[in-house]
Amino acid sequence: MATAPSYIEGQAIPRENGLIDNLTDLSFQRFATPRMLKQLYSVHLLIGFVAAIWVVFAGFQTSTSNGLLALIAGAAGMLLWTVYCRIIVELLGAVFRAAEVITNSQG
């Protein structure tokens, strides 16, 4: 489905391709991963949260003291997991931005 170009002061503004267009680009001319970084970060945080909740529930099933220890360890682990995921996603973003700059500078 073609869309009409947007014009501001007589200049055409290039439109971004959709995620599906980037995923089905078999020539690999466009990157799909930079558009998915927010979702990737969110999914990993959700996985860490579910794992922390599971550890806390498992701790409370054995005993109250194990549950409290698991609660403290789960909170600390979730904090470390959040920092780790943020660093990895920022690193991925930087790599893809660098690749895009290199690609654009080569013409």
6 in a domain, yes or no? no
20 in a domain, yes or no? no
Burial of 63 per CB tally in 10 Å (0-12, 13-18, 19+): exposed
Range of the domain at 67: 31-105
17 in a domain, yes or no? no
Summarize pLDDT for 25-59 with one digit per residue, the tens.
766 666 777 778 899 999 999 999 999 999 999 99
Range with the poorest average pLDDT among 11-25, 68-82, 90-104: 11-25
Q: Which residues contact 21 (CB under 8 A, 6 or more apart)?
A: 30
76 in a domain, yes or no? yes
65 in a domain, yes or no? yes
User: How many domains is the chain partitioned into structurally?
Assistant: 1
